[in-house]
Amino acid sequence: MGKRRKALRIGLIGDRDSRVTAHWAIPLALQQSLLPHSGTLRVDWLDTPRLAQGLDLEPYSGFWCIPGSPYRSTEGALRAITFARENEVPFLGTCGGFQHALLERARNVLGWSDAAHAEMDPQATRPVVHALPCSLVEVSETIRLTPGSHLAALYGLPEIREGYRCSYGVNPEFQDELFGGSLRACAHGEDGSIRALEATDHPFFVATLFQPERKALAGIAVPVAEALLCAAFRHASNRVSIPEPIQAGSPA
């Protein structure tokens, strides 16, 4: 008999909606990225109310926080992001996933209990995610990647061109405190605004305000999806338990 192929489970954090183009593109981007690997892939949609109710996240070797916010449960989405961050499970966020990765850091790393997303709380006193001065709905732009960043290494280019479908991003009023230490900005738009982030103390924690996954619909490779799968396969391999050696004098 042939060697059994490894089965990989990726959880999609968010609420599935067939009207959202990215929700068609993301499973396709992951399947396309699977081709070089000797394994099988299972993609599960993890709706945010179930996440808020305590859905078991242990079976997953990677997470993708997907576009389509506001989510039905912000707390559910944040719970899954916290799990990925604290347990070093590979994480990718795009669009709303970027925004909520930022919100999760503000609340759970910096301890800002009043940190908010202005789309859900327009009157917030600390809107770390705010309405952009110019909407990026169905807009493309040239994005400058930070030299030496993980994201720049994935693309192998100093600049890329990607598209958006969002109206919210990093509030510059708080970005100096949000970014620093283990979190760094790794891409900037044409106006200098932050368009992507990555954690330097995590095996793979990347989030982009742009939506690279949509290129999969045209058969174009998506480097961040490929990187997520590579990181997830490594994580799955590292999770295989190795029995501890029996010490002399210990019962067998």
Domains delineated in the chain = 6-238 (3.40.50.880)
Average pLDDT over residues 2-18: 83
pLDDT above 60: residue 9? yes
Average confidence score pLDDT of the chain: 92
- CA dist., res. 149 & res. 140, Å (int): 22
3-state secondary structure the chain: CCCCCEEEEEEEECCCCCCCHHHHHHHHHHHHHHCCCCEEEEEEEECHHHHHCCCCCCCCCEEEECCCCCCCCHHHHHHHHHHHHHCCCCEEEECHHHHHHHHHHHHHCCCCCCEEECCCCCCCCEEEEEEEEEEEEEEEEEEEECCCCHHHHHHCCCEEEEEEEEEEEECCCCHHHHCECCEEEEEECCCCCEEEEEECCCCCEEEECCCHHHHHHHCCCCHHHHHHHHHHHHHHHHCCCCCCCCCCCCCC
Please state which of the ranges 6-10, 45-49, 91-95 shows the lowest mean pLDDT: 6-10
pLDDT band at residue 50, thresholds of 50, 70 and 90? very high
Average pLDDT over residues 46-67: 98
pLDDT above 90: residue 39? no
Contact of 229 with 40, CB cutoff 8 Å: no
Average pLDDT over residues 57-70: 97
pTM (2 d.p.): 0.92
pLDDT above 50: residue 21? yes
Average pLDDT over residues 81-98: 98
Question: pLDDT at position 5, please?
Answer: 55
pLDDT in tens, 130-161: 999 999 999 999 999 999 999 999 999 999 99
pLDDT above 90: residue 180? no
Residues forming a β-bridge with 15: none
Question: pLDDT at position 250, please?
Answer: 34
pLDDT band at residue 106, thresholds of 50, 70 and 90? very high
Q: How far apart are the first and last CA of the chain?
A: 32
Please give the structure tokens belonging to residue 223. Answer: 């480097």
